[in-house]
Amino acid sequence: MKPNLLLVSRFPDAFCERLREHFDCHEYAQLDADRMAALAPKLRGIVASGESIVTRDLIARLPALGIISVLGVGYDGIDLEAARDHNVCVTHTPGLSTDDIADFAMALLLSAARQVVSADRFVRRGDWAVGRYPLTRSVFGGRIGIVGLGRIGRAVAKRALAFGMSIAYTGRTQKADVAYRWYNDARTLAANVDFLVVCASASAATRALINGAVLDALGPSGVLVNIARGAIVDEEALVQALCERKILAAGLDVFSNEPRIPDALLALENVVLTPHMASITGATLQAMLDLTFDNLAAHFAGQPVLSPVA
């Protein structure tokens, strides 16, 4: 018999068809309470996305559960402690989207600092026939601060070098293998850079790490970019900083309550907003889908999974 899987997010049709060739798949959103109760003892795997929420309660209700395979790098919505308590393996798809995310971070930085989106609107409105677009901020040779010098943070730093930037960072510990300047807190880092790029993992320690004090330190010519997780930035403080021009601009791919974005943020001209798309290109998505499937296949074949969560 095919193992039973619970799909807790929406996935591309072709991927679902591939899963159904090997597994009996059930979409969580389509199950009523009675059907879920009947299936619970049979469900041996969960397929989730990086935005999925898998709670302790759900894990505890599935006595046969052996694996949660996450399509994505982030897994902060998965209760890892509960998974460990119930001997459930959690996998994800790290590394595959690193370059895409780092590319996108630089795209947001350039778009926000050089006001690309606003300038596009300026041209489309016909305003260029009336006068020149206002001056924008230089990027090349600036000072970039990276919050979280992990795999993605290092890829951003590599790109920043090509822009002649000086690089500084903050994180849990100083890295012995890089020569970049290290600061032990985000506020001090922000006070010493022009561009602050958030690459950290979401956790209790990083929740609202980029707060009003950090934004004040970044200053009126500073630019914030967030391609990590929305919860790392205090969204209310950011709206206030943008409204009051305490910082120059921001480029955001992630938000606190996706896909809902505060009206106050939507109304601002000095922020570039994108729909959590930094990690997703066609080629990368296919590679992530393949690894998500391969992790499931390895687990049910009794083999080591390819990319377990540490």
H or E element, residue 181:
strand 181-182
Active-site choice (18, 181, 187, 276): 276
Q: Is residue 236 among the annotated active site residues?
A: no
Q: What is the DSSP letter of 115?
A: T
Q: Is residue 92 among the annotated active site residues?
A: no
Active-site choice (92, 229, 235, 299): 229
Q: What backbone torsions phi and psi does residue 78 show, to the nearest 5 degrees?
A: -95, 130
> In terms of Cα–Cα distance, which of 187, 230, 226, 184 is closest to 207?
230
Q: Is residue 258 among the annotated active site residues?
A: yes
Dist CA 216 CA 298 (whole Å): 49
Dist CA 25 CA 286 (whole Å): 20
**Strand ranges of the sheet holding 195-198, from the earlier edge strand across to the other edge:** 181-182, 166-170, 143-147, 195-198, 223-226, 249-252, 271-273
Active-site choice (17, 81, 244, 258): 258
Active-site amino acid positions:
229, 258, 276
